[in-house]
Structure 1
Amino acid sequence: MPPTAPLSRRTLLGAVGLAAAAVAAAPVLAAPASAAATTDRGYGVFLPAYPGSVDAVRTAGAAVGRMPELVTWYVAWSTKTAFPLAQVQEVTGLGALPEITWEPWDPARGTAQSTYSMASIAAGRHDSYIRSWARAAAAWGRPVRLRFAHESNGSWYPWAVGVNGTTASQYAAAWRRVVNLFRSAGARNVQFVWCPNIPFAGTPGLASIYPGDAYVDVVGLDGYNWGTSQEWSQWGTFTDVFGAGVSELRSFTAKPLVLGEVGCAEAGGDKAAWIADMFAVLDAHPEIRGFTWFNATKETDWRVESTQASLDAFRAGVA
């Protein structure tokens, strides 16, 4: 989910939404009745105020009683932004891992655009821009995560398979070219995160759009409990949201697994209880090595501080 989405997900998910995920979800993420913490998972955050205010990251850490281990933000190719060294240094200086969600599009133009198509990337028409980032990242030399062309199984981005003429082979070829250009530049410090959306009715199988283990360092999964915040949505448990997707990912790759975007609405259920259950499930499943909370008010109030009860539950979970 980008900071400002040009399309309504009502038209993308329709009546299926979380219902499809709930029906398909395997119980692989169920928490035992008394789950004890088994891992020190990584906690990441997206904040609308960053980049811009590094104090926003400090404030977010103070609010939950723990500084995040990862900070993620979004960069669209249309901005022609150079590798954001200042922000990478800033986040690293906080003791966190910088993660850039690198989006090959112009967010103002919706899905019907061809300038940054997967076919054009695969054909090498953007090599100069990609190399500029790769060389700068290599010169930096310290760990950075790059979440390139995420949620490619959805229908809200032009790079998604089945959208704007994008095919699975074009997507995979573009991904591999980007990775190869970074490797050729010596940017082995960059970890590439392949991060689809949670699967729902009508989306392509995740294995069919996977670039391959040789080109992926970390696999992720984006998912939200929309509750009843939208006319098409319904409340779903953490396992309803992520269970089927995690099971599907694990059917074809053993790469390190994270949850790239997580959020929960207040409407339709008990958000504090949902957060507490999330941590119980994660504690019982150390194979999920981290998660990033989408801490923003957008389609609804996803923030952990949307109520005091939600904030308290989150504080207890990351303690």
Structure 2
Amino acid sequence: MAVLMVGLTPPPAGAAATITLSGSAGTAGAEVTVTGAGFPKRTKGTVVAGTSRVAVTTTSTGTLQVSIVPGGSGTVTISAAVGSTAASAGYTVLAAAPGTDSAKGIRFGVGTGGGPAAGSELDEVAALAGEAPSIVLSYKDFNQPAPIAELETVRARGAETLLTWEPWTWGGGTEQPAYSLDRIAAGDFDAYLREWGSALGQWGQPVYLRFGHEMNGDWYPWSEGVNGNGAGDYVAAYRHVHDVLRSTGAMNVSWVWNPNVPYWGSTPLDGLYPGQGYADVVALDGYNWGTSQSWSSWQDPAALFGDGLAQLRRLAPGTPIVIAETSSSELGGSKARWITDLFGYLSAQPDVVGLVWFHIAKEADWRVDSSTASVEAFATALDARR
């Protein structure tokens, strides 16, 4: 007995429904367009993207198209189901630019001596500042595996990691030929890079990765002019590391290009910037050394950061900016006043979306609570920031 089915036409025998996405990854809150073919004609269905869901009706040819904002973070599945016919594709939700998910415009981050695993240190800073940091600074050299447990610890605190990846052996000095930039670009470390990429990609949560920071100085072996490195070697190595990690599917990684604030004699930034598509965030490290060193003098925030910010905007227009390391000495001026001025200065820079305080007594006492006046100024300025 023949059965007449009205309004529901199955796809031809052997045909498989498919969907394509307008992109394989996007920042949190961004729309993705889902286009499908091979579905039953003129039939209602559903498109699901992570925790988001929208209704859809196919056309007379069995196609569909809809825009949806994927819900969730990391790797999510986007699927279209029409009747008993379904198709799916993978998509990665990248972290939004730092600052976009905060009630305040500038996100507060911190680096402590114990790093992400030192929860008591992070709790102490939160108590001093009156606010828990939403960015936690971390450091790893080229002898360590991807720190997934630490990343997860930070995520459990409701924060994200700014993961510094340093191509050297800690404590080995600037002359470490095993880690020359040309060796990195030539692929000598590719197996290690793929291990990191696979681990980060499988973890799947947002992480900010700054490879070879402060490259315009001369105190690290990945700088040009030391360790046998020449002009152009940094960009070649950076791009190679970026491309290898991307090839493993680590689309949850946001790349941070992070020079030191330019100074007399530093390597010009023009030859160190890896180019559009290689940096999701650009950053600066800058400290007010005051008179703590024989060569240093007091610098107010505008003098310290002004030129560097201008150069970042010229090289990477429209890219979010983070101050990835900063602090002030107590010697040579008022640290409390400097902190107040810093937050005021950065609050007037709409593209600066994050600030990470270096809370360690090292070359100077960089900690928030190096004095009563300092910690009081910090808590007040943090609360009043944009």
Q: Percent identity?
A: 44
Structure 1: which amino acid aligns with 2:141? A
Q: Indicate if the aligned counterparts of 2:116 and 2:136 stay in contact, CA closer than 8 A.
A: no
The residue type paired with residue 180 of structure 1 is D
Bigger strand fraction: 2
Question: Is contact 1:161–1:209 with CA below 8 Å preserved after alignment?
Answer: no
Candidates 260, 273, 277, aligned match of 2:324: 260
1:143-182 superposed Cα distances (whole Å, 9 cap, x missing partner) = 0011100000000001111112212322111111111111
Letter of the structure 2 residue corresponding to residue 69 of structure 1: S
Structure 1 position 206 matched with structure 2 position 258: no
Report SS of the residue matched to 1:120: helix
- TM-score, structure 2 normalization: 0.71
| Separation (CA, whole Å) in 1 of partners of 2:274 and 2:261 | 17
TM-score by length of 1: 0.85
Counterpart residue number, 1:238:
301
The equivalent residue for 1:163 is: 226
2:144 to 75, 78, 81: 81
Q: Aligned residue for 1:41? A: 106
Question: What residue in structure 2 maps to residue 305 of structure 1?
Answer: 369
Structure-1 separation of matches of 2:197 and 2:188 = 16
Q: Any conservation in 1 of the 2:204–2:250 contact (CA below 8 Å)?
A: yes
1:2-57 Cα shifts (integer Å, max 9, x gaps):
xxxxxxxxxxxxxxxxxxxxxxxxxxxxxxxxxxxx95201110000224422221
Aligned residue runs from structure 1 range 62-101, under 5 A:
62-77=127-142, 80-101=143-164
1:270-285 map, 5 Å: 270-285=334-349
Q: How many residues align?
A: 280
Among 342, 350, 358, which residue is 1:286 paired with? 350
Give the Cα separation in 1 of the matches to 2:165 and 2:151.
14
Distance 1:62 1:131 in 2: 39
Deviation of residue 194 (structure 1)?
A: 0.7
1:122 to 168, 185, 197: 185
Give distance in 1, aligned partners of 2:284 and 2:231.
18
The 2-side partners of 1:54 and 1:96 are apart by 12
The amino acid of 1:226's aligned partner reads W
- In structure 1, the residue corresponding to 2:357 is in which secondary structure? strand
Specify the code of the residue in structure 1 equivalent to 2:176.
Q
Which has the larger share of helix?
A: 1
Equivalent position to 1:173, from 228, 236, 255 = 236
Counterpart position of 1:35: none
Write out the 4+ residue segments of structure 1 that deviate beyond 4 Å after TM superposition: none
Which amino acid in structure 2 is aligned with residue 194 of structure 1? W
SS of the counterpart of 2:373? helix
Contact 1:39/1:286 (<8 A) preserved: no
* SS, match of residue 142 in structure 1: coil
CA distance in 1, matches of 2:345, 2:104: 11
User: Residue 132 of structure 1 is aligned with which of 187, 195, 199?
Assistant: 195
Q: Is the 8 A contact 1:100 1:145 kept in 2?
A: yes
- 1:173-192: CA deviation from partner (whole Å, max 9, x where unpaired): 11111111111111111011
From 184, 208, 232, give the equivalent of 2:247. 184
Q: Which amino acid aligns with 1:178?
A: V
Give the equivalent residue in structure 2 for 1:149.
Answer: 212
Q: Which residue of 1 aligns with 2:126?
A: 61
SS state of the match for residue 313, structure 1? helix
Structure 1 residues 34-90: Cα deviation after superposition (integer angstroms, max 9, x where no partner) = xxxx9520111000022442222122112211010100111111xx21110110000
CA drift at 1:116: 1.4
CA distance in 1, matches of 2:289, 2:164: 22
Q: Which residue of 2 aligns with 1:5?
A: none
Instruction: Output the aligned Cα RMSD.
Output: 1.2
**What's the offset of the Cα at 1:292?**
0.7
Letter in 2 for 1:66: E
Task: From the CA coordinates, give the structure whose radius of gyration is larger.
Answer: 2
- List alignment gaps of at least 5 residues for structure 2: 1-102
| Distance across 2 between alignment mates of 1:262 and 1:168 | 28
Structure 1: which 5+ runs fail to align? 1-37
